[in-house]
Structure 1
Amino acid sequence: MLLALFIIMGFYAACDIALTQQVTSSVFTLPLLLAVPFLIAHVLVRAFAPYADPILLPAAALLTGLGVVFIRRLDLVNDPFDEIDRPDLATAAGRADVPLFSGQGIRQYWYVVIAIVLFALVLGLLKDHRILSRYAYTLGLAGLVLVGLPAVLPASISMVNGSKLWIRIGGFSIQPSEFAKLLLLSFFAYYLVRKREVLSLEGKKIFGMVFPRGRDLVPVLVVWGASILILVFERDLGTSLMFFGMFVAMLYVATERTSWFVIGIGLFAGAAVLAHSLFSNLQLRVKIWTDPWPYIDEESFQLVRGLFGMGTGGLFGSGPGQGQPERVPYASSDFIITGFGEEIGLVGLTAMLLVYMMLIGRGIKAGLMVRDAFGKLLAVGASFTMGLQVFVIVGGVTKLIPLTGLTTPFLSYGGSSLLANWLVVALLIRISDTARRPPAAGVPIPGGGTGPAKPDRLDHAPTEVIKL
């Protein structure tokens, strides 16, 4: 954790000095403010989950802290009270007179504080992750309501950039799908544990793979249908892909059958082709993906600017605070990856993706180590969903795949994504603690057996133990 905080402080100090040409008070103030909630989180983990994987929390803190200081770095160039999406393209010098407690950077910091409070509540109240299985159907229903709510609301308070994903009332906005994924994760894990044997039954063998029986396809078709409804009514391919991909991945882990994975890809590909033929906004996104230049003045402006920024950064980047990421609209949210790519280069961006890989890999490892099937599916599903989000957004801004409306976990500006992902981290830490905790003496282990026998008296122990 101290290493993560040192990296955050070093990056922000370099940005601040490069932009303002002086050492301002915020060089140390903002990193120290960030250190407070992260160190509190560390103490909470030591108190409530002492056996948890020690990599999970520092990795999430490093990514979150870098996101906050980069957003603050943008505040030093852009007017912190200017809410337009497309800043002036003229080269702007950094300003030392921007108050620390203004702009998007400090708002993101308060989101971090709220996220750590929720993180603490989960660790303190959720002593055993299996408690969630008791409320699986209630959580699933609540998740469906959250996902579908923006679709039934007027476009004036729910639509942004052609996708109905938000609830915006006054100055308050929330993206319900970020929280819905946690609720649906719990339901999917419980359902697949209960139905695993049925879904694993053999059917016909085609091209060397055993496909399920026709009647066993019903759960997949139901979730596929729900994803299609999201695609139709909310017009967002990213959210639809996230939920369907999450379910198919958990189904594959539960049954260990490759055929489910093939079926899932086929169903979603067919739905995407159908939606492309029906909706003009999806057609436009595909056109921008294949050839952005005809739309350079409007729709593909931010994508092309982001690509130019990363190209300018090259292998090692222009240096913290020495690039011009503010030229890209949504540089603090959808295109924050391109901003980092411009200033820390391919090497730095690869290192950042490796931090994501560590976080996701350790989450999957916690799922593989835990002894109960519900925890396995919950941890693997949560980790896979986080990885899928990273792939979709990084693939979108680098023009590997069409750009969607998903956010970059931990880095992007916004409260909904940050709070939801810190809840995921809390859940992974709880599962990891359960997986790594030595079983108590004589206590039954889920899956069979008991913990090691404990002597009634110390003098029954071997002489070497008494000497130690």
Structure 2
Amino acid sequence: MAVVGSAPGRAPAAPSPLPTGRGIELILLAFAAVLVTGALVLVEANTSQELTRSLLFVGLAYLGLFTVAHLAVRKFAPYADPLILPCVALLNGLGLVMIHRLDLANVEAAKANGTTIPADEIGRQVIWTAIGLALFVAVMWLVRDHRTLARYGYTAGFVGIVLLALPGLLPSSISEVNGAKLWIRIGPAGIQPGEFAKILLIVFFAAFLVQKRELFTTAGRRFLGMELPRARDLAPLVLAWGLSVGVLVLERDLGTSLLFFGIVLVLLYAATERVSWMVIGLLFFVGGCVIAYQLFGHVRTRVQIWMDPFADFDNAGYQIGQALFGLGTGGVGGTGLGAGRPDLVPFADSDFMLSSLGEELGLIGLAAILVIYLVLITRGLRSALAVRDSFGKLLATGLAFALALQVFIVIGGASKLIPLTGLTLPFLSYGGSSLVANYALVALLLRVSSAARAPLPRRPATPQVPLAEAGTELVERPT
């Protein structure tokens, strides 16, 4: 009988390397570039009946920036999910298309009215995209292992709280825009520190919950089939609730308050897997809503506009009313890129980007955009499930859910599902702080995803010695 095996002294064959997915990512990025370029051509053809230099500038800038982003992912996060960056690139590209379309509409309106032609916003948005991708590359280069962030959890929490509260403590002359104190403005430049505070606070709560997980999972009283936490363990939830109310009071910003509290609540549930935290958190949320409605006039005004925007259509209800008319005009198929009037909606490129896209792309186009967001969020949550360390799981869950909740808040406000909050659609809306901060968020998500999909390190193989050539050793048996 023959014995089949490797030849004496021959090393076993090396396992084939795992696919990184970078080829798929490159193909999808090329597909996104084709879609964005085609959309730009349609906009200019329908609006100006000619192709301008802006098309060449935006197209080449888009192609160059995301080529650099792909090379950075290939080098620093080679095993990252191949769908995350293409989804972000396509959303960012569609945002550039609509901003350029609104620029052309503003130029036409200025010519018709005999007023000064406004400056193009597309150039500034391209610059903000470049800054965001520069931070994207820097984060992936600096954070070689996402677990190192857990060491700086408390520092991140302190800096995050300072950034979150700073605009509310500054004079209104440099922090208030449209009634909300969210900015730090120096001359023509401005930044929203709360966008970066969001990421730092996610890092803090992920690190904190990993360290104190046994404390939060300690059984308390049972009530209606749920394990209620002990009263002294409610401190993080009470703190998050207090910070949310503080932001609402100091900065008059309903959106950031809701976003911050929702992220903390989901991280608590992900860390403990106890429904009681969700129930208690929702009770805190309802209580906060009632208190805010009774005490703060700006909250009460937004709720009244939400309930009936047409009661004061010419004043307070004009924005949401025009947005609803825009969505209704778009219908199922949309008017077509460059063939609608999205410029009639105030803040069409920022707060109401949804109505601008809905008017010209219709329900079908909005559904496609929501699917892109859904793919991006689910791939982030998939990375959270696949990563092997607890901190990485909570970090990726918080980052992915932050995107999900922000999308829900913006779409719900623009479609009159919930009151308006003032947040912007990630990667689509005009704005520098949100875009740059969200690219840092995606960089961390890709770092966690690469760690989740990377192959486990293999131990060095021990050379096999044939039995006939193996040495012998005498061992004295104890008596």
Q: How does 1:296-307 map to 2 (within 5 A)?
A: 296-307=313-324
Which residue of 225, 244, 256 maps to 1:227?
244
What is the aligned counterpart of 1:136 among 153, 171, 180?
Answer: 153
Structure 2 gaps of 5+ residues are: 1-28, 467-479
> 1:8 is matched with which residue?
36
Could you say which residue in structure 1 is the equivalent of 2:411?
394
Alignment of 1:416-431 (within 5 A): 416-431=433-448
Query: Any idea what SS the aligned residue of 2:185 has?
Result: strand
- SS of 2:190's partner is strand
- The match for 2:106 is 78
Query: Partner residue of 2:474?
Result: none
After TM superposition, the structure 1 = structure 2 runs for residues 229-268 of structure 1, keeping only pairs within 5 Å, are 229-268=246-285
Is the CA contact (8 Å cut-off) linking 1:366 and 1:431 kept in structure 2?
Answer: yes
Q: 1:456/1:105 Cα in 2 relative to 1: closer, same or farther (>3 Å)?
A: same
Query: 1:465 aligns to what?
Result: none
- C-alpha distance in 2, partners of 1:235/1:263? 25
CA distance in 2, matches of 1:21, 1:269: 52
Counterparts of 2:431 and 2:438 in 1: how far apart (Å)?
A: 12
Matching residue of 1:200: 217
**Residue 176 of structure 2 is aligned to residue 159 of structure 1:** yes
Residue 107 of structure 1 is matched in structure 2 by: 124
Q: Which secondary structure does the structure 2 equivalent of 1:78 belong to?
A: helix
Give TM-score scaled by structure 1 length. Answer: 0.90
SS in 2 for 1:121: helix
TM-aligned CA deviation for residue 91 of structure 1: 8.6
Corresponding position of 1:406:
423
> Measured at CA, do residues 378 and 28 of structure 1 come closer, stay the same or move farther in structure 2, by a change above 3 Å?
same
**Conservation of the 8 A alpha-carbon contact between 1:334 and 1:407:** yes
Within the alignment, does 1:368 sit opposite 2:396 as a pair? no
**What percentage of residue pairs aligned between the two structures are identical?**
50
| AA of the residue aligned to 1:244 | F
Counterpart amino acid of 1:432?
S
The secondary structure found in structure 2 opposite 1:42 is helix
1:260-281 per-residue CA deviation (whole Å, 9 max, x = no partner) reads 0111111011011101111111
Provide, for residues 419-444 of structure 1, a one-character-per-residue CA deviation record: whole Å limited to 9, x for no partner.
010001100000000000001113xx
Q: Is the 8 A contact 1:91 1:324 kept in 2?
A: no
TM-score by length of 2: 0.88
| Matching residue of 1:38 | 66
SS at match of 2:121: helix
Deviations along 1:89-127, one digit per CA (max 9) or x if unpaired, are x999xxxxx99xx51111000000011111111111210
Alignment counterpart, residue 56 of structure 1, candidates 84, 104, 107: 84
Structure 1 residue runs without a partner (length 5+)? 81-86, 93-97, 443-453, 461-468
Instruction: Give, in whole Å, the separation in 2 of the partners of 1:414 and 1:30.
Output: 17
Q: Name the counterpart of 1:213.
A: 230
How far, CA to CA, are the matches of 1:361 and 1:21 in structure 2?
A: 40
**Matched letter for residue 39 of structure 1:** T
Paired residues in the alignment total 436
1:65 maps to 93
Match for residue 374 of structure 2? 357
In structure 2, what is the Cα distance between the partners aligned to 1:39 and 1:328? Answer: 34
Counterpart code for 2:348: A
Pairwise CA distance, 1:457: 6.1
Tell me which amino acid in the other structure corresponds to 2:55: V
RMSD across aligned positions (CA): 2.0
Match of 1:438 in 2: 455
The residue number in structure 1 matching 2:363 is 346
Q: d(CA) in 1 for partners of 2:71 and 2:465?
A: 36
The residue aligned with 1:275 is 292
Q: Distance in 1 between the 2:156 and 2:51 partners? A: 50
Alignment deviations for residues 2-24 of structure 1 (CA, whole Å, 9 cap, x no partner): 11111111111111100011233
Structure 2 Cα separation of the partners of residues 219 and 124 of structure 1: 32
- State the structure with more CA Rg: 2
Q: How far off is 1:310 after superposition?
A: 0.7
Conserved? CA contact 1:17–1:23, under 8 Å: yes
CA distance in 2, matches of 1:155, 1:28: 40
Aligned to 2:306: 289
- Return the letter of the residue paired with 1:362: R
Shift of 1:72: 1.1
* 1:459 CA drift (Å): 11
What is the match of residue 385 of structure 1? 402
Partner secondary structure for residue 103 of structure 1: coil
Instruction: Report the equivalent of 1:83.
Output: none
